[in-house]
Amino acid sequence: MYDVPPPPDLTDVEQALWDGFGAGTPVDAAGAAVRADVVAALLREEAPGRAAAVHLRAGRVTGQLRLSYAEVGHPLLLEECDFDEPPDLYWARMSHTSFAGSRMPGFRAANVRVDGHLQLSRCAIGDGVRLGGSQISGGLLLADAVLGGNGAEWAVHARRASIGGDLVLVGARLTGGLAITNARLGGTADLDKVTITAAPGDRAVDADNVGVEAAFYCRWAEVQGEVTLRHARVAAAVSFSRSTVRNPGGVAFRASRATLDGGLYLHDGFVAEGRYGW
């Protein structure tokens, strides 16, 4: 059925994943180990029909998933999985990609191109997400994710990213900042109920020169560190209503020379500890 024979000594779960690839059949690993090399080999396959996909749930992915510079024409869904090593999607071209609910030490995908959504909701990623220069035709979905905590300055680094849909961080918890400087969003930036804890003196939200074609929401949020939107261009409202931004001794909120077509809303209990920079 495939151009390349399967790797030797497949486990039962790996064989099920291989056999189900052509139809995109979900495989529940129930905690069993699956070699990252097996997943990578499948993703480089040409399979007949439109339904082909790698769809694994609850697997323990061993070794590094190396897809740097790869051309992947089928969806990749590795959901509720545990990864030994950070997946490497550097400069890869991907179809719809989901790691929803997975746990991993890091996520390396600078300059990746995703034709569809990049789904990282409910993930726990110790070293955060590296997406600088990425191009995502759909949304970047990080709702309820737990990101950072291993000492990196940025829990989400997506400078110069181009996102065709929404950036969703609703309910996420970031240890380290969010960097979306010079990024372009075709939809909404939704940071409602986010918790961001930057190191003292660091930026919690670096959105200088960001372009957003809809609204920028960061309501009911708890932010430790500076929020900056200098030179930002937002086509609808920017709202930090009911949020708390703390940067004692420094600038809490900065929006100098920003163009906010729908206005700026800092009300309904908004609290800022620190200076304003206009």
DSSP 65-129: -B-TT-B--S-EEEES-EESS--B-TT-EESSEE-TT-EES-EE-TT-EESS-EE-TT-EETT-E
Assess if residue 44 is contained within a domain: no
**Residue 16 parent element (H or E):** helix 12-20
From the number of C-beta atoms within 10 Å of its C-beta (0-12, 13-18, 19+), residue 3 rates as exposed
Predicted TM-score (pTM) of the model is 0.95
Question: What is the model's pLDDT at position 201?
Answer: 87
Q: Is 257 helix (H, G, I), strand (E, B) or coil?
A: coil
Which residue in 267, 212, 204 sits closest to 240, CA to CA? 267
Q: What are phi and psi of 41, to 5 degrees?
A: -65, -40
Residue 75 lies in a domain: no
Q: Can you name the residues that pair with 167 across neighbouring β-strands?
A: 140, 189
In a domain, 236, yes or no: yes
Does any domain span residue 22? no
Asked, for residue 11, whether it belongs to a domain, the answer is: no
Which residues, in sequence order, are CB contacts of 277 under 8 Å at separation 6+?
Answer: 228, 230, 251, 253, 254, 255, 256
120 phi, psi to nearest 5 deg: -125, 20
* Position 229 in a domain: yes
Burial state string for 157-179 with b = 16 or more CB within 10 A and e = fewer than 16: bbbbbbbbbbbbbbbbbbbbbbb
- What is the number of domains present in the chain? 1
The reply to whether 62 falls in a domain is no
* DSSP SS3 for 43: helix
Please tell me the predicted confidence (pLDDT) of residue 44: 83
Bridging pattern class, strands 233-234 and 154-157: unpaired
Q: Give domain status of residue 43, yes or no.
A: no
Range of the domain at 238: 86-277
CB atoms within 10 A of CB 46: 10
Q: Determine which helix (DSSP H) or strand (DSSP E) holds 40, and give its type and residue range.
A: helix 36-43
Task: Walk along the chain (278 residues) and give the pLDDT tens digit of each residue.
Answer: 455 667 789 999 999 999 999 999 999 999 999 999 999 999 987 665 557 999 999 999 999 999 999 999 999 999 999 999 999 999 999 999 999 999 999 999 999 999 999 999 999 999 999 999 999 999 999 999 999 988 788 999 999 999 999 999 999 999 999 999 999 999 999 999 999 999 988 999 999 999 999 999 999 999 999 999 999 999 999 999 999 999 999 999 999 999 999 999 999 999 999 999 87
Nearest to 132 by CA among 85, 178, 170: 178
Query: In angstroms, rounded to a whole number, what is the distance separating the alpha carbons of residues 176 and 71?
Result: 31
Q: Is 34 in a helix, a strand, or coil? A: strand
The reported pLDDT for the residue numbered 278 is 78
Q: What is the pLDDT of residue 11?
A: 97
Question: Other CB atoms closer than 10 Å to residue 219's CB: what's the count?
Answer: 18
